[in-house]
Amino acid sequence: MTADLIRTADVVVVGAGTVGAMALWHLSRETGTRIVGIEQYGRAHGRGSFAGESRLFRVAYKEGDVYVPLLREARRLWHELQDEADRSLFLPVGALSIGAPDQPEMQATLATIASHDLPHRVLDQHDLREAFPPHAPRESDIGILDTQGGGLRPEASVLGALDLAERAGVDMLYHCPVLDIEVQRGGVVVRTAQGAISAGVVVIAAGSWASELVPALAELVSVRQLALTWFMPRDIRAYEPERFPVFMRDIGAAHVFGAPTLDGYSVKVSPGHDGMAQGRRVADLPTTLSSRQLRLLGLRIREFFPDMNPEPVRFSSHHDAYTADRVPIIDRSADGRVVTVTGLSGHGFKFAPVFGRLVRDLVVDGRSADLPPSFSLAEHLARRAG
């Protein structure tokens, strides 16, 4: 083995961000398993893809039927995590989609609702104005309220999962970048800035940085900048969580999403990755937004919320790892030594506790009946080739 060995473990999880923290939570329930978690930054830091105050959760998932069973299980697990961690993580405010009935996103949402018989409400333009006055629907717009949807508190979720994992005996190394992973005949050696760790299995949950650790992933994953912006409305009370669901609005190709006010003075209304930068590495992306970008965003926001001051009062630049078709990668190597999860493509937070459980299943059981085959590396490569 190597001279600078600082620990041995059964499982090492690289990255204690969104999925890493959830995987550590699930794995920590395996009695007698020695688990080490390694994070390049601090505990629930502000540089991962989970940063930014809130995330949208929905079950009526227009992106495909394959995700709905996972989202039902994720919803159950969000409540379990919230109870165990004793933190408020899931805001049961509903998720509202607004658009014209022939907008593809609206049609796909209704199709998912029909095929899974999901609880919901359809609102016409009149109902929308009455129930949710801040939205300014166009004459043709309808609303679809996914009543099982809501908001998530991402930083508190990561911290809550890490608290539980550490309390159950997981050994965490923070401020400890992993430099290299080497699969050997009898196991895996994970080299870090503080020395090497020898393990049976390594989980690579490094998000946007995954392809820097495993260069072969660069073929399948790129990184994208996503912006978050917060605006000040005339009357903040109309945007409080008691009366304002998380939302998505689509007009043609224009898309915005947002959440109720959580700070009492501003409302998150954001364009996501539209018009944002793309690159190979996180370091390739800008870390802020230009004045021009902010001005254009403000003008766009006014189309959706006429009472909003068009100058963002807070803004931040983030990133996520994207696959070409936005299907995540969750897979285990043939020898079982390496489990990889990345490419959550701007949609992964809502799934975090269930993806963490899929990772646990791959590590402990060697398989998971709930893992869609489309998430595998082989299927990603096949889709790319053909």
Among positions 199, 206, 308, 362, the unique one binding ligand FAD when judged by CB under 6 A: 206
Nearest distance, CB of residue 351 and ligand FAD, angstroms: 7
Q: Are 199 and 35 in contact (CB under 8 A)?
A: no
Check residue 226 for interaction with ligand FAD (CB under 6 A): yes
Cβ closest to ligand FAD, residue 113 vs residue 276: 276
Cβ closest to ligand FAD, residue 100 vs residue 181: 181
**Nearest residue relative to ligand FAD (C-beta):** 17
**CA dist list (Å): 37 to 23, 45, 150, 283, 326:** 10, 15, 29, 23, 27
Gap between the Cα atoms of 226 and 163, Å rounded: 28
Cβ closest to ligand FAD, residue 200 vs residue 346: 346
User: In this structure, are strands 150-152 and 5-14 parallel, antiparallel, or unpaired?
Assistant: unpaired
Cβ closest to ligand FAD, residue 125 vs residue 346: 346
Q: Which tokens in the block code for residue 187? A: 């196991």
| Residue 3 DSSP one-character state | T
Check residue 177 for interaction with ligand FAD (CB under 6 A): yes
Cβ closest to ligand FAD, residue 129 vs residue 172: 172
Among positions 52, 99, 137, 149, the unique one binding ligand FAD when judged by CB under 6 A: 52
Q: Which tokens in the block code for residue 19? A: 């999925």
Cβ closest to ligand FAD, residue 319 vs residue 360: 319
Query: Whole-angstrom distance between the N-terminal and C-terminal Cα of the chain?
Result: 42
Among positions 81, 89, 145, 205, the unique one binding ligand FAD when judged by CB under 6 A: 205
Among positions 38, 89, 110, 327, the unique one binding ligand FAD when judged by CB under 6 A: 38
Cβ closest to ligand FAD, residue 138 vs residue 175: 175
- Length, in residues, of the chain: 386
What's the distance, CA 227 to chain centroid? 14
Gap between the Cα atoms of 209 and 224, Å rounded: 12
Nearest distance, CB of residue 151 and ligand FAD, angstroms: 8
Check residue 150 for interaction with ligand FAD (CB under 6 A): no
Q: What is the dihedral of CA 283, 293, 348, 171, to 10 degrees?
A: 40
Among positions 26, 37, 48, 229, the unique one binding ligand FAD when judged by CB under 6 A: 48
Q: In what order do the strands lie in the sheet with 150-152?
A: 55-57, 150-152, 90-91
Nearest distance, CB of residue 200 and ligand FAD, angstroms: 19
Cβ closest to ligand FAD, residue 15 vs residue 353: 15
Among positions 74, 81, 118, 178, the unique one binding ligand FAD when judged by CB under 6 A: 178
Burial of 87 (C-beta count, 10 Å sphere; 0-12/13-18/19+): middle
Which 94-123 residues touch ligand FAD, going by CB under 6 A?
none
Check residue 249 for interaction with ligand FAD (CB under 6 A): no
* DSSP line for 303-356: HH-TTB-SS-SEEEEEEEEEETT---EEEE-TTSSEEEEE--TT--GGGHHHHH
Check residue 37 for interaction with ligand FAD (CB under 6 A): no
The residues, ordered by sequence, that sit 6+ positions from 271 with a Cβ below 8 Å of its Cβ are 227, 229, 255, 256, 297, 300
Cβ closest to ligand FAD, residue 130 vs residue 226: 226
Check residue 161 for interaction with ligand FAD (CB under 6 A): no
Q: Which residues bind ligand FAD (CB under 6 A)?
A: 14-20, 38-41, 48-50, 52, 55-56, 177-178, 205-209, 213, 226, 228, 318-320, 342, 344, 346-350
